[in-house]
Chains A and B, each alone.
Chain A
Amino acid sequence: MSTTAVKKQRKYRIGKMTVLDYILMVVLIILSLMILIPFWNVIMISFSSQKEYADNPMMLFPKHPTLDAYKALFQDGRILTGFWNTIKVLVVGLPLSLFLTSTMAYGLSRNKFPGKKLIFFLVLFTMIFNGGIVPLYLVMKSLHLTGSLWSVILVGSFSAFNMILMMNYFQGLPESLMESARLDGAGEWKILFSIVLPLAAPIMATITLFYGVAFWNGWYDAMIFLRKAEMLPLQNVLRTIIVESSTNVSNASSVDAIGKTGFSTGMKMASVFVSMIPIMCFFPLLQKHFAKGVLTGAIKT
């Protein structure tokens, strides 16, 4: 019985392509083109000259590819400042967020102690209720953090969701390891750094990517807390280039708006493309780890 079942199974898997399969294939190819063509369009416009784009806005294959837009973009320099600021946020923010998250996750993953439930509840509660942006802004202001990149770094350096994911992972580590270290006289901090963290490389990688993408894509905090243009992270610079300089994209007067800010369409598309490149480079990693995170976070823990 079971062998026939296996045969049937295999037949189902490899059996010859039916009409349905071909239709499915064609539909999926069309759908993926609908995803890819907008990207292609953006990239090609960034490589075409202003004149060629004006003649043919449907740009899919520029006849005379040029790097003019990129040269102009980097000469303007704002996007480079944005990159630099985002790198600063990442370099300080990632270690800080991993420190805050792993210490708390380890502390809460171990044996019962008085107040454990209360503290866990305090973390959980931040997931369903928050003060919102106005009190946060006022608190940041009274801490004298507004106008400094620290505001963006600090606000983004802890997430209850990431902490709980990490805590669940730590809870799965065998208690005997820590118990024997304790008998050898190791303190909890030493156990965390010399025993737990080396064993937790997979979850650390996942959480690093979670915070990394959040810092890379973050813009709201910076928009609220930072005032000076030269402090803005990449996404905010990109927003100035794209969104704020094309508020009138739809009507004919848009020529004025674009002329005023000095960003040609080619430069805009070039800035979109360069902001995308890091995500593209890390994408295989991101896809794997985020899928894992989503599935452990939402389906089962």
Chain B
Amino acid sequence: MKPAALGPDKSLKGRSKSNPWFKEIWKHRMTYTLLVPGLIWLILFAYLPMGGLSLAFKHYRANDGIWGSPWVGFENFKYVFRDPTFAQAVWRTLYVNIIKLVITFPFPIILALMLNELRMGRTKKWFQTVFTFPQFLSWIIVSGIVINVLSYDGLLNSTLSLIGLPTINFLGSEKMFLPMLIMTDIWKSTGWGAIIFLAAISGIDQDQYESAQIDGASRMQQIFKVTLPNILPTVTVMFILNVGGLMSAGFDQIFNLANAATQNVSQVLDVYIYRITFQSSTDFSFSTAVSLFRSLVNMVLLLAADRIAKLMGGDGLFR
């Protein structure tokens, strides 16, 4: 089969010395037609908007559109970097996401270790089903549940006052906003996050446990001396990948759990971009400049995370 297929290929190459590149393209013309629908999508909804980022260097005039508005160089950026709310939004993003990452990160690992130690296969599956379910709900649905449970007369505060503890204003105070984000994030995402670590654990060579048992290691010792060191590469890679998303993480959650009382503490970069673009003034050049800053920092973080993850022996973001 193979030589027969190669035959006409060779003769074709021989004949097309004049323009081999064009012949190659002609030969694959059918393949190109396959790519056309996807390419049209990419151009319209990915690359045109990317080109639209040029607006960051222009003065937007509604009548002239993105492409017709006059160039102004870096002027928009001067305003952006001088704007104190912009700087606050950047720091708020890093502050919220770094603290959230550091606190929430260990939970899926602990849950995976616990589920792995559970001896009954069937209950393990049941637990996993319960723990992973919230991940599939949108943050809007989850915020409906959260607002209900954490509100002033909600389940949690009612329980607190029933056992004589002071109630906590989870949703309407600036001080409680970040703890509330951390709580709800743990509630929603821990079960799902554990899946990757469970998979890593199931890949550990059983011989290691056997020899540890022969050496008389207790179960706790097996967890700390066999399981954890074995999943450490996965843990490191997952952490680095999370760092890659620091600039863009958590928008859905923050946007849907914020309210008038927490307006200031909820102003992370993406929320700031939304507010300046669609709620307050509509200076599209200014918000595009902020957008461009965000996309660039995001890209640098992602690429750095990818490179470091690969250096650590992981697969990185893109295989």
Contacts and interface: CB of A to CB of B under 8 A. Distances in A.
B303 to A, nearest CB: 7
A300 B55 contact: no
B267 to A, nearest CB: 16
A247 B41 contact: no
A37 B146 CA distance: 12
Q: How large is the interface on A (under 10, 10 to 19, 20 to 34, 35 or more residues)?
A: 35 or more
A262 to B, nearest CB: 17
Given A100-B38, A187-B30, A131 B152 contact: no
Interface string B95-133: 000000000000000010011011100010001111111
Given A9-B206, A114-B24, A295 B199 contact: yes
B278 interface: yes
Instruction: Report which residue of B111, B118, B119 has the largest number of chain A beta carbons within 10 angstroms of its beta carbon.
Output: B119
A101 B38 CA distance: 7
B277 to A, nearest CB: 5
A119 B155 CA distance: 53
Given A250-B172, A265-B148, A276-B137, A136 B52 contact: yes
B148 A129 contact: no
A108 interface: yes
B302 to A, nearest CB: 5
A299 B66 contact: no
A247 B144 contact: no
A32 B130 CA distance: 6
Interface residues of B, number: 112
A251 B299 CA distance: 41
Given A128-B303, A158-B38, A238 B5 contact: no
B318 A251 contact: no
Given A101-B38, A188-B34, A217-B138, A142 B65 contact: yes
Interface string A116-135: 00010011101111111111
Interface string B13-54: 000000001001101101111110111011011111111110
Contact of B273 (A58, A134, A239, A283): A134
Contacts of B302: 128
B119 A301 contact: no
A179 B144 CA distance: 54
A270 B303 CA distance: 44
Contact of B39 (A14, A119, A251): A119
A188 B30 contact: yes
Contacts of B303: 128
Interface string B128-155: 1111111011101101111111011111
A31 interface: yes
Interface string B209-230: 1100110000100000000000
A119 to B, nearest CB: 6
A59 B49 CA distance: 49
A248 B260 contact: yes
Nearest to B21: A114
B149 A143 contact: no
B59 to A, nearest CB: 14
Contacts of B28: 111, 113-114
Contact of B213 (A12, A220, A242, A250): A12
Interface of B: 1, 4-5, 21, 24-25, 27-28, 30-35, 37-39, 41-42, 44-53, 55, 65-66, 111, 114-115, 117-119, 123, 127-134, 136-138, 140-141, 143-149, 151-155, 158-159, 162, 169-173, 187, 191, 195-196, 199-200, 206-207, 209-210, 213-214, 219, 234, 241, 252, 256, 259-261, 273-274, 277-278, 284, 287-288, 291-292, 294-296, 298-299, 302-303, 315, 317-319
18 contacts: A8-B213, A8-B214, A31-B111, A103-B35, A110-B31, A130-B49, A131-B291, A132-B49, A134-B52, A134-B273, A134-B288, A142-B65, A220-B252, A238-B144, A242-B144, A242-B147, A249-B151, A251-B261
Given A114-B28, A301-B315, 10 more contacts: A9-B209, A28-B127, A31-B131, A58-B155, A242-B140, A246-B151, A251-B261, A294-B196, A295-B196, A299-B234
List the 10 closest pairs (A to B, CB-CB), nearest first. Answer: A250-B172, A135-B52, A131-B49, A104-B38, A132-B291, A107-B34, A217-B138, A113-B28, A188-B30, A272-B144
